[in-house]
A = this chain, B = another copy of it.
Amino acid sequence: MSDHVYKKIELVGSSPKSIEAAVENALVRAKKTVRNMRWFEVTETRGHIQDGKIDHWQVGVTVGFTLED
């Protein structure tokens, strides 16, 4: 593990339900093209309002994954 190189990508996931679900949705989508995802970090938590209520959350996520040799 001491010689790994990681790459970080920045995503924004959405969900009408919760912050956690917005992060999960981002990872579900990323999994289609990115392998070896290791960790994530929430960078911003925002959302859209409709008729005075939270319509959906938008959560910025930085995802780190191992670059294979």
- CB of A64 to closest CB in B, whole Å: 7
Number of chain A residues whose Cβ lies closer than 8 Å to a Cβ of chain B: 52
- Give the number of times this chain occurs in the complex, counting copies: 12
Q: A2-B14, A6-B12 are in contact. Are A49 and B29 (CB under 8 A)?
A: no
Are B48 and A39 in contact, with the CB atoms below 8 A?
yes
- CB of A67 to closest CB in B, whole Å: 6
Nearest neighbor of A69 in chain B, beta-carbon distance = B29
Residues on B with beta carbons closer than 8 Å to the beta carbon of A5: 11-14, 25-26, 29-30
Among A6, A16, A18, A54, find the residue whose CB has the most chain B CB atoms closer than 10 A: A6
Which A residues from 34 to 62 make CB contacts under 8 A with B? 37-42, 44-49, 52-57, 60, 62
